[in-house]
Amino acid sequence: MTEVLLYSMVIGVFVGLAAGYLGSLMVLKKMALVGDAMSHVALPGLALGILFNFDPFIGAFAVLFVSAIIVWYLGRVTKLSYEALIGAMFTTALAVGILMIPAVDLLEALFGDISKVVLLDVVITVIVSVASIALTKIIYKNMVLGMISEELAASKGINIGRTNLLYLLLVSLVVALGIRITGTLLVGFLVVVPAATAKNLSLSSFRYSVLSAVFAATSSVAGVLLSSYLSVPPGPMVVLSGIAVFLATVPFELHMR
């Protein structure tokens, strides 16, 4: 196993665990389209990094971070749904990003390329992923309670607005990490489909969140290995691996009804 492949697999495991765990909340909140759309918002940030010769993933996170704050604020002020706000923002960002990114770099931005990862990338990914999971675990019950009843959550002293903002920022961070594996076009898969897969097999919230993280990590590693073997971009392979697992769990969900 080459050094780059080993690094890629480690990144795949930790990004998958974080994306799957955060995604379990996103599916519960019926915000699956938000997770997918947020990945497209990162494209102008990637373009800025490419054009001005700094790490494109720093640009991606910066744009995602600002977008998450804007969406959170507009959601509180206008009472529009996150889906509507993100939908308007992501189509604009996608169009602007495609126009900005040089054609030679567009394929990598859309579908991912982890052939250039170094040890520093691995260290940063592990630290950020573990921190994201830990922070999400702290707010997990508060988020679920807020889904059930915001009034009940407020009566228990939970600031739903602040909790939602923290969650959106964590999703932005994990999406930025996942772009290296699957690209902007497909990274939404990691925060949506593994959680949907876990839902097919889970009767408890704990099992659901754990399986969501495990399925995302498994899809990432399988996709990285297949992309290395077939010499194709990793993004499509990650998605196809995850979809195969999802389809395999559908009969179990039908049986549990």
Average pLDDT, the chain: 82
DSSP-assigned letters across all residues of the chain: --HHHHHHHHHHHHHHHHHHHHHHHHHHTT-HHHHHHHHHHTHHHHHHHHHTTS-HHHHHHHHHHHHHHHHHHHHHHH---HHHHHHHHHHHHHHHHHHHS-HHHHHHHHH---TT--HHHHHHHHHHHHHHHHHHHHHHHHHHHHHH-HHHHHHTT--HHHHHHHHHHHHHHHHHHHHHHH-TTTGGGGGTHHHHHHHTT-SSHHHHHHHHHHHHHHHHHHHHHHHHHHTS-HHHHHHHHHHHHHHHHHHHHHHH-
- Tell me which range, 6-10, 144-148, 178-182, 185-189, is most confidently predicted by mean pLDDT: 6-10
Q: What is the mean pLDDT of residues 74-102?
A: 74
Q: What is the mean pLDDT of residues 54-80?
A: 80
- Is a pLDDT exceeding 70 seen at residue 253? no
Taking the domains of the chain in order of start, what are their residue ranges?
3-256
Could you read off the pLDDT of 202-241 as tens digits, one per residue?
878 889 999 999 999 999 999 989 988 888 888 888 889 9
What is the architecture, at CATH level 2, of domain 3-256? Answer: Orthogonal Bundle (1.10)
What percent of the chain is predicted at pLDDT more than 90? 19
